[in-house]
C-alpha cells in the first residue's frame, strides 16, 4: 500500500488538487453552475481526448510526434461538414480521388510484371523519377480549370452566395475525361511506387489489388451521372442520417489520410527522427493551405442534427431519459438548461474511449501495439510485420482525430483556427498524462477540458481577492493561455507526465 | 545511436581559402541599388530599384531570423517550434515602446535586447529541462501563449488585440518609404553584423561545445561541460538575434500584428533553414533569399494560395534534400566536381591535346 | 550433418561504424553452437544481423539452404528462427500469457507447445496472469526463452541467457537449454565460458568483428593458449579449476 502510494504520488496530488477545486467551486457557485461547468469540461475533455489519444498512441508506438494531428481534426470537421450540409462538393471531388487511387492500384500491379531491376542503378532512379514527374504533370493536366469555388458556395454560407448545383458542377462530358486522365496519372504513380526501395523489399500487389483498382475507377465513373440525384436524395433525408454519414466520412477519410501519410511520408524517415516532426509540421501547413484553397478562409456553421435540436413544447428535457424521446436542444441540469448536443459529445468520447481500450486490452492487435510501445524491434523479431501495425495505428489515431473534428463542428464551428487550437490542447493533455500512455491521454484530456471550462468561468465572473473592491474580469483568452502554464508546471515537476514511465 | 552526418564544419575548415567570397557579396549588395538604377534607367530611390531594395530588405531581416533559428536547430540540435515568440516579442516590444513610451530608437533597441534576454532565459530554463519532441511541444505551447495573449482583448490599449499595432513612429531618417535607400543600407549592415557575431560564436570554443551537444549530449556532459548552461546560452543568443530581427521587421513594416507570433512565422524560419541548409550560417541566409524571391514569383504566378506550393516543396526537401542547398553542396561538392570534370574532360582533351599533363589535373 | 544456418563473410554497419568485418559461421542442425569473444567483438551484432535487425551490407546468410539476406526481420523470423535478446527483453507491461500469445504465428501454437514450455519452466504457469515486469530476473529470462519456443522455431538465437542471474538460476537455464536442444538448433552467445563449454558442441570465436577461430568445444577447453588469447586470462584460469561452480567471472574486456 505504502509502495503504491509512493509510486503514484503525482497522481494522488493531482486528484487532491482536483478535489480541492471541486469543493471550492461548490462553495462558491450554486450547484447548477458547478454542474454545467463540469459538463462543459467533460465536453471539451471528450474532444481533446479524441486528439490526445491518437497523438499518444502514435508517439508511444513509433516515436513520431504528429504535428499534423490538429490539421487532421480540422480536415475531419471540414469534410464532415461538407458531407452533412453540402454533399455536392463531396460528390464532385470524390470520383477524382477514387480514379487516382484506383489507377495507382492497377499501376502497382503492372509494376510487378516489369523486370525487377534495370542494368544501371541510375537508370532505375531516373525511370521512377520520370514516372513521378510524368504523373504529377498528368494530374495537373487532368484538373486544369476545375473550379471548386462554385461547388463550395452553397445556399447558406460562403461569400459567393447560392449557385445552383446545375451551374456549379461540370457536365459529364467534361468531367469523365478528367477521371480518365487521373486514372492514367494513378497508373503512372503506381508504376513509380512499385519501383521504390531495394529489390528485396518490393512488394508486388496481387491481381486482387488490380481488381480493386479497376473497381474504384468504375465506382468513380458510376458516381458521375448520379451526382445530382444523389445530392437531392442526401439533402432530403433526415439530418440524423446525414450526421451519421458525416461521422463515417470523417472516420474513413481520417483513416485513409493517416495511412497515406504514414506509408508515403513518414516511413522513409524512421531513421531520421528529427525530420519526422519537421515533416509532420509541413504536412500540417500544406493541409491547412489545402483547406484554404478548397473551402476559402471564411468559416462555416454546422447545424446541430435533429436528434439534439428540437425545441418548443416540453423543452428543455427534464432529464436524459426523456431526451431520448423528445430530442430537445437542451436538457435541464439542476434547473439550468445545458445543450444536449454537448452531452452527445461526452457520450461519443466515452464510447470511443471504451472501444479503443477494449481493442488495446483484448485483441491480438492490441497486444502487439502495447508490446510495440515498449520495444517494436523485438515485436518484429517475433515474426510480426510491425510496419503494417504502424500504418494501422497511424490510421486509427488520425481517424479518431477526424471523427472528433466532425463531432466538434456543430459545437465549435468549422474554421481555420480549429486545428491549432485543439492541437495545442491535445499536446498539453498528452504532456500532462504522459506520452505513450492511453489512460494518461484520457486523464490529461479530461484535466485540460476541466481547466478550460473552469478557467473560462473564472475569468468571466472575475477574480476577487479579499483586498479588492471590484473583481478583475478578463477575456477567455487569458484562460486559454493559462492552460499552457499548467503544462509548463508539469514539465518542470514531472517531465514524464502523470502516467508516463520514467526513462 | 544514429550518428548524424550533417555537414557542418566543411565550410569552416576551408573558409580561409574562400575568405574573399563574403566581402565580394557584401560589396555587390552595397552596389546593387546603383547597378539596378543603371540597368533600369530609373533613379535609385524610385520605381524598380526602390521595389527591389524593399525585397532585399525583407530578405536581410528574414536572413537574420533564419540564421538565429539555425543556431538552435542546426548547431545545438535544439528543435524549437516556438521561435516566432522571440521574433514577435521583439517586434511588439519595438512597436509598444516607440508608440507609447516616446523613447529614442537607441533606447528602444537596448530595451528590446533586454526583453529578449529575460524572455529567452525564462523560456529556456523551463523548456530545456526536457529534450527532443517534448521540447518542441513545450516551445510551441509557449509561443501559442504569446500568440493568444497578443490577441487578448484585455490588453487592447497596449497591443491592439487582434488588429495589432499600426503606424509605429520611426525617426524620419529611417522612414522605410521615404528613406528606402538608407533603410536598405542599415538593414544590410544589420545583417552583416549579425552574421559576424554568429560566425564568431560558432567558431569559438563555446560554439564547438554547442555542436558537441548536438552530436551527443551525454558525451559532452561526460567530458565535463555544463551542457545546460551552453544550451541556455544558445537559446538566449538565438532569442536575442530573433528579437532584433523582429525589431527590424517592426521598423520596416511600421506595424506589429499577431501574425508575427503565429506558428506560420516559426514555419517560415524552418523553411528557410531547410531550404538553405541545416547546420550552416550561410544556408539559412541563402534560404531566406530563395524563400522571399520564390514566394514573390509564386504569388505572381499562382495567386494568394502560393504557400501551398511552398509547403509541398518543403516536404519534398525534408524527404529528399534534407541538408538543403549549402549542406548538399558541401556533401556532394566532390562528386559534383568529379562529375563536371568527367563532362568537360573530352572538351579539355580536345582543346589541350598538345599540352601534356593537362588532363591529369 | 547438414548446416541449418550458413553465414558467409557478412559486413554490418551500425550508423557509420563498421561493426562486423567479415563474419562466417556454419551451424550444424541439431547442435548447440557457442559464439565466443570479448565484449564488443560483435557477437550480439552477429545475431542481430542474422535475424535482420541490423541487416548486413554485404555477404550471404542462408537458412536451411535458402538465402535470407535482405529480407526484413519479421520475414526472417517467420521462416522459423527464434531470437532471445540479451537483457531479457520481455514485454514488461504484458502478462506472461500475452508475452507468449504475441509470439504465436497461428492460433493454436501456444496450446500445442504448452506442455514443452511449462515442462521446462513451471514457474511461468504459476504466474500466467502476472505482468512480465513483476517477474524476477530469472523468470523473465525463462519467459524470454519460452517466448521463442511458442512457434515451432527450428533455430534459436540466444544472447547471453546467464547475464546477471544467480548461480542457481544459471544451473536451471543450462538444464533447460540442454533439453531444448532436442527440439531446435541453438546458436548461443555466452560470456560465461563454463556454461558455454558445458552446453555447446561447437564454438566460433569472434574478434574485432571477424570470425577468427572455430572447432569442437572439447578441443577448445584443452587449448588454454587460445582461450587466453581471444577470451582473456580470466577464462583460462576458470578452465583450470573445473571444480569451480558454473558461475564464473564474466570475461573482462581486455583482461
* A460 and chain B in contact, CB less than 8 A: no
Sign of the CA dihedral C189, C195, C199, C201? Answer: positive
Going from N- to C-terminal start, the domains of chain B cover 10-322
**Among B83, B148, B149, B267, the residue to mutate for chain A (most A Cβ within 10 A):** B148
Task: Tell me whether residues A278 and B318 touch, CB distance under 8 A.
Answer: yes
Pick C102's closest partner by Cβ from A200, A371, A387: A371
Q: How far is B112 from chain C (nearest CA, A)?
A: 44
Buried b (16+ CB within 10 A) or exposed e, A219-246: ebbebbeebeeebeebeeeebeebbebb
Please tell me the distance from the alpha carbon of residue A107 to that of residue A105, in angstroms, as a whole number.
Answer: 5
Q: How many CB pairs under 8 A join A and B?
A: 117
Query: Residue B358 carries which DSSP code?
Result: G
DSSP string, C106-138: STTHHHHHHHHHHHH-HHHHHTTTSBGGGS-HH
Other beta carbons within 10 Å of C131: 16
* pLDDT tens for each residue of C4-51: 888 888 888 887 788 888 888 888 888 888 888 888 788 888 888 899
* A489 and chain B in contact, CB less than 8 A: no
Q: Are the CB atoms for A377 and C53 separated by under 8 Å? A: yes
Residue of C nearest to B4 (CA): C15
What integer pLDDT is reported at residue B343 of this predicted model?
A: 59
Task: Tell me whether residues C74 and A201 touch, CB distance under 8 A.
Answer: no
Q: Are the CB atoms for B108 and B98 separated by under 8 Å? A: yes
% of chain B surpassing 70 pLDDT: 87
B284, pLDDT greater than 70: yes
* pLDDT tens for each residue of A401-446: 999 999 999 999 999 989 988 998 998 899 888 888 888 899 999 9
Kindly list the residues from chain A whose CB atom is less than 8 angstroms away from the CB atom of residue C73: 377, 380-381
The CATH class of B10-322 is: mainly alpha
Q: Answer with the residue of higher pLDDT: A155 or B228.
A: B228
Q: Are the CB atoms for B150 and B20 separated by under 8 Å? A: no
C185, pLDDT greater than 50: yes
Beta strand extents in chain B (DSSP E only): 165-166, 255-256
B311, pLDDT greater than 80: yes
Q: How far is C17 from chain B (nearest CA, A)?
A: 9
- Portion 82-121 of C in contact with A at CB < 8 A: 83, 85, 89, 91-94, 98-99, 101-103, 105
User: Which of A266-270, B272-276, C251-255 shows the lowest per-residue confidence on average (mean pLDDT)?
Assistant: C251-255
User: Which of A19-28, A206-215, B10-19, B261-270 shows the lowest per-residue confidence on average (mean pLDDT)?
Assistant: B10-19
Task: Tell me whether residues A281 and B81 touch, CB distance under 8 A.
Answer: yes
* pLDDT tens for each residue of C112-165: 888 888 888 888 888 888 888 888 888 888 899 888 888 888 888 988 888 878
Kindly list the residues from chain A whose CB atom is less than 8 angstroms away from the CB atom of residue B291: none
Q: Answer with the residue of higher pLDDT: A379 or B350.
A: A379
* pLDDT tens for each residue of A345-367: 999 999 999 999 999 988 999 99
Q: How far is B6 from chain C (nearest CA, A)?
A: 12
Q: How far is C20 from chain B (nearest CA, A)?
A: 17
The bridge status of strand C155-159 relative to strand C185-189 is parallel
- Portion 181-220 of A in contact with C at CB < 8 A: 198, 200-201
Q: Which residue has the cell 427534464?
A: A318
The bridge status of strand C66-67 relative to strand C210-216 is unpaired
Q: How far is A327 from chain B (nearest CA, A)?
A: 37
pLDDT averaged over every residue in chain B? 84
Task: Tell me whether residues A375 and C78 touch, CB distance under 8 A.
Answer: no
Extract the C-alpha cell encoding A419: 486545428
Other beta carbons within 10 Å of A177: 11
- Portion 204-233 of B in contact with A at CB < 8 A: none
Q: How far is B311 from chain A (nearest CA, A)?
A: 5
B335, pLDDT greater than 70: no
* A31 and chain B in contact, CB less than 8 A: no
Other beta carbons within 10 Å of C17: 10
User: Which of A409-413, A484-488, B133-137 shows the lowest per-residue confidence on average (mean pLDDT)?
Assistant: A484-488
At residue C93, the 3 state secondary structure works out as coil
Q: Answer with the residue of higher pLDDT: B340 or B300.
A: B300
Kindly list the residues from chain A whose CB atom is less than 8 angstroms away from the CB atom of residue C94: 367, 370-371
Please tell me the distance from the alpha carbon of residue A90 to that of residue A231, in angstroms, as a whole number.
Answer: 10
What integer pLDDT is reported at residue C251 of this predicted model?
A: 42
* pLDDT tens for each residue of C210-220: 888 888 877 77
Q: How far is A370 from chain C (nearest CA, A)?
A: 7
Nearest residue to C119 (alpha-carbon basis) of C199, C195, C182, C200: C182
**Among A203, A371, A382, A384, the residue to mutate for chain C (most C Cβ within 10 A):** A382
Extract the C-alpha cell encoding A485: 502554464
What integer pLDDT is reported at residue B1 of this predicted model?
A: 38
Give Cα separations from A156 to A86, A159, A163, A294 (angstroms): 10, 10, 11, 17
| Interval B62-83 mean pLDDT | 92
- Portion 41-70 of C in contact with A at CB < 8 A: 51-53, 70
Kindly list the residues from chain B whose CB atom is less than 8 angstroms away from the CB atom of residue C17: 3
A199, pLDDT greater than 50: no
What integer pLDDT is reported at residue C1 of this predicted model?
A: 53
* B144 and chain A in contact, CB less than 8 A: yes
Please tell me the distance from the alpha carbon of residue A336 to that of residue A294, in angstroms, as a whole number.
Answer: 41
Chain C residues within 8 angstroms (CB to CB) of chain B: 14-17
Pick B305's closest partner by Cβ from A283, A289, A430: A289
Q: Are the CB atoms for A425 and A405 separated by under 8 Å? A: no
pLDDT averaged over every residue in chain A? 84
Going from N- to C-terminal start, the domains of chain C cover 3-80+154-240, 84-147
Task: Tell me whether residues B152 and A477 touch, CB distance under 8 A.
Answer: yes
Most confident residue range from B6-20, B108-122, B204-218: B108-122
Q: Which residue has the cell 565484449?
A: C39
**CATH fold of the domain at C3-80+154-240:** Rossmann fold (3.40.50)
Please tell me the distance from the alpha carbon of residue B322 to that of residue B5, in angstroms, as a whole number.
Answer: 11
Please tell me the distance from the alpha carbon of residue B78 to that of residue B236, in angstroms, as a whole number.
Answer: 12
Most confident residue range from A137-146, B108-117, B120-129: B108-117
Q: Are the CB atoms for B88 and B256 separated by under 8 Å? A: yes
> To the nearest 10°, the Cα dihedral for B207, B209, B215, B219?
180
Give Cα separations from B174 to A313, A321, B95, B178, C183 (angstroms): 69, 70, 15, 8, 86
What integer pLDDT is reported at residue B341 of this predicted model?
A: 64
Pick B315's closest partner by Cβ from A265, A293, A477: A265
Q: Are the CB atoms for B18 and B330 separated by under 8 Å? A: no
What integer pLDDT is reported at residue B5 of this predicted model?
A: 42
What integer pLDDT is reported at residue A501 of this predicted model?
A: 62
What integer pLDDT is reported at residue A15 of this predicted model?
A: 80
Most confident residue range from B222-226, B233-237, C239-243: B233-237
DSSP string, B130-153: S-HHHHHHHHHHHHHHHHHHHH-G
For chain B, list the contacting chains (3+ Cβ pairs, <8 Å).
A, C
Kindly list the residues from chain A whose CB atom is less than 8 angstroms away from the CB atom of residue C85: 378, 381
Give Cα separations from A57 to A347, A386, A435, B48 (angstroms): 21, 14, 8, 54
Other beta carbons within 10 Å of B196: 11
Please tell me the distance from the alpha carbon of residue B144 to that of residue A416, in angstroms, as a whole number.
Answer: 15
User: Which of B166-175, B308-317, B327-336 shows the lowest per-residue confidence on average (mean pLDDT)?
Assistant: B327-336
User: For residue C238, what pLDDT band results from cuts at 50, 70 and 90?
Assistant: low
Task: Tell me whether residues C16 and B1 touch, CB distance under 8 A.
Answer: no
Residue B256, beta-bridge partner list: B165
A469, pLDDT greater than 80: no
DSSP string, C154-217: SEEEEE-TTTT--HHHHHHHHHHHHHHTTTSEEEEE-S-HHHHHHH-SEEEEEETTEEEEEEEH
Residue of A nearest to B306 (CA): A289
| Interval B306-310 mean pLDDT | 85
A245, pLDDT greater than 90: yes
| Interval B315-325 mean pLDDT | 83
A112, pLDDT greater than 70: yes
Kindly list the residues from chain C whose CB atom is less than 8 angstroms away from the CB atom of residue B1: 14-15
Please tell me the distance from the alpha carbon of residue B82 to that of residue B9, in angstroms, as a whole number.
Answer: 27
User: For residue B258, what pLDDT band results from cuts at 50, 70 and 90?
Assistant: very high
A498, pLDDT greater than 70: yes
What integer pLDDT is reported at residue A484 of this predicted model?
A: 81
Q: Which helix (H) or strand (E) holds C20?
A: strand C17-28
Most confident residue range from A387-401, B30-44, B304-318, C208-222: A387-401
* A432 and chain B in contact, CB less than 8 A: no
Amino acid at each position: 500500500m505504502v509502495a503504491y502510494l509512493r509510486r503514484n504520488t503525482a497522481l494522488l496530488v493531482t486528484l487532491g488538487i482536483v478535489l480541492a477545486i471541486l469543493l471550492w467551486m461548490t462553495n462558491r457557485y450554486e450547484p447548477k453552475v458547478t454542474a454545467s461547468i463540469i459538463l462543459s469540461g467533460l465536453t471539451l475533455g471528450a474532444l481533446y481526448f479524441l486528439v490526445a489519444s491518437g497523438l499518444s498512441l502514435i508517439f508511444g508506438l513509433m516515436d513520431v510526434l504528429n504535428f499534423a494531428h490538429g490539421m487532421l481534426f480540422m480536415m475531419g470537421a471540414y469534410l464532415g461538414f461538407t458531407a452533412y450540409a453540402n454533399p455536392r462538393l463531396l460528390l464532385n471531388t470524390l470520383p477524382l480521388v477514387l480514379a487516382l487511387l484506383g489507377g495507382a492500384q492497377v499501376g502497382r500491379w503492372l509494376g510487378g510484371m516489369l523486370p525487377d531491376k534495370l542494368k544501371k542503378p541510375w537508370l532505375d532512379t531516373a525511370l521512377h523519377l520520370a514516372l513521378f514527374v510524368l504523373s504529377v504533370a498528368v494530374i495537373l493536366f487532368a484538373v486544369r480549370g476545375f473550379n471548386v469555388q462554385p461547388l463550395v458556395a452553397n445556399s447558406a454560407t460562403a461569400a459567393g452566395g447560392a449557385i445552383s448545383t446545375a451551374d456549379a458542377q461540370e457536365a459529364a462530358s467534361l468531367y469523365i475525361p478528367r477521371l480518365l486522365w487521373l486514372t492514367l496519372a494513378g497508373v503512372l504513380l503506381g508504376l513509380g511506387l512499385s519501383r521504390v526501395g531495394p529489390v528485396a523489399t518490393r512488394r508486388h500487389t496481387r491481381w486482387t489489388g488490380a481488381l480493386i483498382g479497376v473497381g474504384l475507377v468504375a465506382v468513380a465513373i458510376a458516381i458521375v451521372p448520379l451526382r445530382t440525384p444523389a445530392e437531392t436524395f442526401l439533402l432530403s433525408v433526415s439530418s440524423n442520417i446525414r450526421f451519421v454519414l458525416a461521422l463515417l466520412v470523417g472516420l474513413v477519410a481520417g483513416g485513409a489520410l493517416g495511412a497515406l501519410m504514414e506509408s508515403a511520408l513518414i516511413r522513409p524517415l524512421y531513421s531520421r527522427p528529427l525530420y519526422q516532426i519537421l515533416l509532420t509540421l509541413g504536412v500540417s501547413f500544406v493541409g491547412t493551405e489545402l483547406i484554404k484553397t478548397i473551402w476559402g478562409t471564411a468559416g462555416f456553421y454546422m447545424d446541430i442534427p435533429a436528434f439534439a435540436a428540437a425545441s418548443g413544447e416540453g423543452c428543455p428535457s427534464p432529464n436524459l431519459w426523456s431526451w431520448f424521446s423528445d430530442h430537445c436542444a437542451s436538457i435541464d441540469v439542476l434547473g439550468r438548461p445545458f445543450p444536449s448536443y454537448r452531452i452527445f459529445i461526452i457520450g461519443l468520447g466515452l464510447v470511443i474511449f471504451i472501444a479503443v481500450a477494449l481493442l488495446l486490452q483484448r485483441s491480438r492487435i492490441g497486444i502487439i501495439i502495447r508490446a510495440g510501445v515498449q520495444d517494436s524491434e523485438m515485436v518484429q523479431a517475433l515474426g510480426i510485420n510491425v510496419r503494417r501495425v504502424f500504418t494501422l495505428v497511424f490510421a486509427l489515431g488520425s481517424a479518431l482525430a477526424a471523427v472528433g473534428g466532425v463531432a466538434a463542428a456543430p459545437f465549435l464551428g468549422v474554421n481555420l483556427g480549429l486545428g491549432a487550437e485543439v492541437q495545442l490542447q491535445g499536446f498539453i493533455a498528452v504532456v500532462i498524462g504522459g506520452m505513450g500512455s492511453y489512460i494518461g491521454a484520457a486523464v490529461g484530456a479530461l484535466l485540460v477540458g476541466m481547466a478550460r471550462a473552469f478557467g473560462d468561468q473564472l475569468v468571466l465572473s472575475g477574480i476577487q481577492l479579499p483586498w479588492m473592491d471590484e473583481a478583475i474580469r478578463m477575456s477567455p483568452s487569458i484562460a486559454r493561455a493559462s492552460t499552457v502554464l499548467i503544462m509548463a508546471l508539469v514539465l518542470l515537476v514531472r517531465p514524464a507526465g502523470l502516467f508516463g514511465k520514467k526513462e | 545511436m544514429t550518428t548524424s552526418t550533417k555537414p557542418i564544419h566543411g565550410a569552416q575548415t576551408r573558409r580561409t581559402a574562400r575568405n574573399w567570397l563574403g566581402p565580394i557579396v557584401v560589396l555587390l549588395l552595397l552596389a546593387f541599388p546603383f547597378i539596378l538604377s543603371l540597368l533600369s534607367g530609373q533613379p535609385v530611390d524610385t520605381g524598380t530599384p526602390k521595389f527591389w531594395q524593399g525585397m532585399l530588405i525583407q530578405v536581410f531581416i528574414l536572413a537574420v531570423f533564419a540564421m538565429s533559428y539555425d543556431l538552435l536547430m542546426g548547431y545545438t540540435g535544439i528543435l524549437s517550434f516556438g521561435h516566432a515568440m522571440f521574433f514577435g516579442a521583439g517586434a511588439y516590444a519595438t512597436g509598444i515602446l516607440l508608440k507609447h513610451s516616446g523613447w529614442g530608437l537607441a533606447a528602444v533597441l537596448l530595451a528590446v535586447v533586454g526583453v529578449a534576454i529575460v524572455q529567452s532565459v525564462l523560456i529556456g530554463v523551463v523548456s530545456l529541462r526536457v529534450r527532443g519532441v517534448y521540447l518542441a511541444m513545450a516551445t510551441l505551447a509557449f509561443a501559442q501563449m504569446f500568440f493568444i495573449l497578443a490577441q487578448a482583448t484585455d490588453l487592447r490599449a497596449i497591443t491592439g488585440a487582434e488588429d495589432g499595432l499600426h503606424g509605429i513612429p520611426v525617426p524620419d531618417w529611417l522612414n522605410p518609404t521615404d528613406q528606402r535607400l538608407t533603410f536598405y543600407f542599415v538593414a544590410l549592415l544589420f545583417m552583416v553584423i549579425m552574421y559576424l557575431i554568429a560566425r564568431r560564436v560558432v567558431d569559438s570554443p563555446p560554439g564547438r561545445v554547442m555542436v558537441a551537444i548536438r552530436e551527443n549530449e551525454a558525451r559532452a556532459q561526460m567530458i565535463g561541460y555544463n551542457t545546460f548552461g551552453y544550451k541556455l546560452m544558445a537559446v538566449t543568443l538565438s532569442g536575442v538575434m530573433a528579437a532584433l530581427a523582429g525589431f527590424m521587421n517592426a521598423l520596416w513594416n511600421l506595424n506589429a500584428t499577431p501574425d508575427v507570433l503565429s506558428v506560420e512565422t516559426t514555419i517560415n524560419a524552418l523553411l528557410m533553414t531547410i531550404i538553405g541548409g541545416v547546420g550552416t550560417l550561410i544556408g539559412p541566409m541563402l534560404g531566406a533569399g530563395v524563400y522571399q524571391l520564390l514566394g514573390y514569383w509564386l504569388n505572381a504566378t499562382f495567386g494568394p494560395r502560393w504557400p501551398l506550393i511552398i509547403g509541398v516543396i518543403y516536404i519534398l526537401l525534408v524527404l529528399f534534400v534534407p541538408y538543403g542547398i549549402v549542406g548538399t553542396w558541401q556533401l556532394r561538392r566532390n562528386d559534383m566536381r568529379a562529375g563536371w570534370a568527367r563532362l568537360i574532360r573530352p572538351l579539355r582533351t580536345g582543346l589541350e591535346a598538345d599540352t601534356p599533363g593537362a588532363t591529369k589535373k | 550433418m547438414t548446416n541449418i544456418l550458413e553465414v558467409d563473410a557478412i559486413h554490418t554497419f551500425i550508423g557509420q561504424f563498421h561493426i562486423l568485418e567479415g563474419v562466417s559461421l556454419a551451424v550444424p542442425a541439431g547442435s548447440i553452437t557457442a559464439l565466443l569473444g570479448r565484449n564488443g567483438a560483435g557477437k550480439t551484432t552477429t545475431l542481430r544481423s542474422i535475424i535482420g535487425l541490423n541487416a548486413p551490407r554485404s555477404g550471404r546468410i542462408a537458412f536451411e539452404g535458402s538465402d535470407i539476406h535482405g529480407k526484413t526481420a519479421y520475414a526472417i523470423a517467420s521462416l522459423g528462427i527464434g531470437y532471445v535478446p540479451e537483457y531479457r527483453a520481455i514485454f514488461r507491461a504484458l502478462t506472461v500469457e500475452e508475452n507468449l500469445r504475441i509470439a504465436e504465428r497461428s492460433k493454436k501454437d501456444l496450446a500445442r507447445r504448452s506442455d514443452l514450455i511449462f515442462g521446462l519452466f513451471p514457474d511461468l504457469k504459476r504466474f500466467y496472469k502476472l505482468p512480465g515486469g513483476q517477474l524476477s530476473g530469472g523468470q523473465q529470462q525463462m519467459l524470454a526463452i519460452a517466448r521463442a519456443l511458442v512457434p515451432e522455431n527450428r533455430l534459436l538465437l540466444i544472447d547471453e541467457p546467464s547475464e546477471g542471474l544467480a548461480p542457481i538460476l544459471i544451473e536451471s537455464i543450462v538444464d533447460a537449454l540442454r533439453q531444448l536442444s532436442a527440439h531446435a538448433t541453438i546458436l548461443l552467445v555466452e560470456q560465461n565460458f563454463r556454461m558455454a563449454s558445458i552446453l555447446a558442441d561447437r564454438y566460433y570465436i569472434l574478434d574485432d568483428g571477424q570470425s577468427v577461430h572455430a572447432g569442437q568445444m572439447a578441443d577448445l577447453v584443452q587449448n588454454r593458449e587460445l582461450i587466453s588469447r581471444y577470451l582473456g586470462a580470466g577464462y583460462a584460469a576458470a578452465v583450470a579449476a573445473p571444480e569451480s561452480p558454473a558461475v564464473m567471472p564474466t570475461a573482462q574486456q581486455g583482461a
